[in-house]
Amino acid sequence: CEPVPIFEGCPEGSTVQVCFCTQFNIENICNSYGNYSVNDHVKIQPFLDEDYIKYSPAAARQYRPAIIKGTWGGPCECHIEAPYVVWDDNRYTDPLSGGQGDRDIFFTRPLITDTGTYISPIIDAGAKAKWYYLEWWGVTPLGTKITFQTRTGDTPWPDDSWTEWTGPKYDPEIGKWVYDGPAEIVDPNCNLYPESRYIQYRIDLRCCPDCGFPCNVPCISAVKIYYEGGLSPVYLPLILKNYSEVTPPPTSITPNDSYYETYQWNLRRINAPSAWGITTGNDTIIAILDTGVDTGHPDLAAKIVNGYDFVNGDSDPSDDNGHGTHVAGIAAAVSNNSIGIAGVSWGARIMPVKVMNADGEGSHYDIANGIIWAANNGARIINLSLGSQASSQTLQNAVNEAYTKGCLLVAAAGNYYQEGNPVIYPAAYPNVLAVAATGYNDEHASYSEAGDYVDVAAPGGNPESDADTDPNHWIMSTFWRGKGYGDYLWMAGTSQAAPHVAGLAALVWTVNPSLSNDGVASVITSSAVDIGDLGKDDFFGYGRIDAYAAVKMGQTSSVTQRWEKPFRPQPNEGSLPHRPGYVLVRFLPYVTQAEVDELLRDLGATVVDEIPALRVKRLRVPEGRELDVISALEASSRVEYAEPDYLAYAF
């Protein structure tokens, strides 16, 4: 009897209540009709709810019992409405298979080849049968006994018998809430099947926001419990459909950061306080590829590790825009320090990699260079709150290289839903976890890109206009107004949604460092709350992230399968924005340096720099002639690909 978790899933301040409701108060399972020989075609009258057949083969031989249920007439006019399940004396359960006979529709158990006692509950899922008809197919040993059994008792539990959940509540050995009350079948004189005792319960949970009555009742599932081997405690599977599993009700941690309670609704929405009750994270490094980070910000400075500036070509990745500083704070601000904000991961380190300028604009070459640099310098998670409609081979190769090295790449899905909803890269690449944005009420943010490449959603804010001052429509985080100034600002976008996922990945890796990047991605997507159409959809992917559910799942997950998503490349239509005077090229590996020099000399191009890990060179070419140079390079037998140095933007 494997325990199934109870889902908390209630508003803050709720009290979980439970009703143990026996659908039928089982009194006994009796021999209502006695024994019959194997060739008697016996027609029996059923009881009110569920009936049983017990049969004991006298010898090991191949034969089949067939149970035929009819609603009127005779065995030639029967109607089967549900499969039947057989329990044998080894507690082995096997669905009965269906078939079409000469006269009847019937269900049979697969060939029985062992002696022993078998019991089959005949489960009526539709209209009540008026009779059951039993036949044995095959060669049946003499002495085989068949016993028809029916269950007596039909006393429902009152519907209004709600009580608060009381002990024993929690089993620390299995980490689950359990019921360990007695299992009783009250008539000891019945001829009971000794190896399995069947009891049916309906267990209902409901949320009481103010501990009052009546309460809202979510969608409930009825369950069946088998007691094995005597009157021992059993774990009741308590199931609420369409909710994530949460067991036990978590210990929440509330940080003391000054803006947390008033402004950081987003962290409560993803259930971060409950996740912090398990872990606040370790020193996993999150690379923030953006406009830089204010490395002197009082809510960030203690988290900063060495980074790099690919825009200016130096080791000072300071922010001169503010976007990157905002993103970094969401993922991993210094937390519980009585100032400012809390981040998703309190322990994670921030690696600032500046790939975008003061205008929030960067090139694919610089972004690819930053991805490779981060992967080679200790980053385990790479956050990309940037993108554009342009897809480049250089950027995709960088993504694949970093993923091969074990990094998890997280990217914003884009903010252009109302401008035609174009496909956005790098979010749409395989090996990138694409994040859409949600608002305060888990609604799709009006700007957030939608498409089959969206993997999950996270809070990004959903302001009605630039003049909207409702803090619940924005995301509060750290901001730059000058190095070390220590400012904070509201912003909204998929750029704000993505670092929630990056921070969560750091928490998951903290509780299970052995997980691969595939495993972490699978945990995050599998534990998400399905808030859109059932299953994966274009607006929310697999759902809005749930930090607590992900961390709980991550603790025991051993996911090894490849996490994948489809890639449907879109042609770059027209002349998408690119860096003027630059072209990216990858030569075939056997081409000599002399051949490269000759080809470039004829085109009036020179090599500016290169990314050795990708074998891609950045060329300086006459401005306005980028596409001509690309055409000439692609016509050469020495070139694998050539492309513009496309631009990307902060979202």
Per-residue pLDDT tens digits for 153-162:
333 333 333 3
Report residue 563's pLDDT band, with 50, 70 and 90 as the boundaries. Answer: low
Cα separation, 308 vs 292, in Å, equals 9
Contact present, 255 and 300 (Cβ < 8 Å): no
Least confidently predicted of 202-206, 437-441, 574-578:
202-206
> Higher confidence at residue 458 or residue 20?
458
* CA gap 132, 548 in Å, rounded: 50
Tens of pLDDT, residue by residue over 496-531, are: 999 999 999 999 999 999 999 999 999 999 999 999
- Quick count: other Cβ atoms within 10 Å of Cβ 366? 23
Confirm or reject CATH 3.40.50.300 for domain 260-556, answering yes or no. no
Least confident of 51-55, 258-262, 379-383, 409-413: 51-55
∠ CA 505-457-390, nearest 5°, is: 95
Rounded mean pLDDT of 24-42? 31
Tell me which of 274, 495, 527, 557 is the catalytic residue. Answer: 495
Catalytic hit among 323, 326, 444, 578: 323
Domains 28-152 and 578-650 alike in fold:
no
- Region 449-472: mean pLDDT is 92
What CATH class does 578-650 carry?
alpha beta
pLDDT in tens, 134-186: 433 333 344 444 333 333 333 333 333 334 444 333 444 443 334 333 332 22
The structure's pTM equals 0.65
Share of the chain above pLDDT 70, in %: 59
Given this model, what pLDDT does residue 82 score? 30
pLDDT higher than threshold 60 for residue 190:
no
| SS3 per-residue string spanning 217-283 | CCCECCEEEEEECCCCCCCCCCCECCCCCCCCCCCCCCCCCCCHHHHCHHHHHCCHHHHHCCCCCCC
* Residue 561 confidence class, pLDDT cut points 50, 70, 90: low
Task: Out of 5-9, 202-206, 543-547, give the one with best mean pLDDT.
Answer: 543-547
Residue 418: both structure tokens together: 């109302």
What is the model's pLDDT at position 639?
Answer: 97
**From 124, 290, 294, 518, active-site residue:** 290
pLDDT at 225 over 60: no
CATH number for the region 28-152 comes to 2.60.120
Taking the domains of the chain in order of start, what are their residue ranges? 28-152, 260-556, 578-650
pLDDT for residue 559: 67
**Which tokens sit at 347?**
């322990």
Least confident of 70-79, 134-143, 387-396, 453-462: 70-79
The mean pLDDT of 5-19, rounded to a whole number, is 36
- Give the three-state DSSP class for 449: coil
Mean pLDDT value across residues 219-225 = 29
Average pLDDT over residues 431-445: 97
Q: What is the pLDDT of residue 543?
A: 96
Question: What's the pLDDT at 568?
Answer: 66
- Nearest CA among 392, 368, 342, 336 for reference residue 578: 392
pLDDT score recorded for residue 408 = 98
Print the SS3 string covering 288-341. Answer: EEECCCCCCCCCCHHHECCCEECCCCECCCCCCCCHHHHHHHHHHCCCCCCCCC
* pLDDT top residue among 200 and 640: 640
Q: Is 495 among the residues known to form the active site?
A: yes
- What burial class does residue 591 get, using C-beta atoms within 10 Å of its C-beta: 0-12 exposed, 13-18 middle, 19+ buried? middle
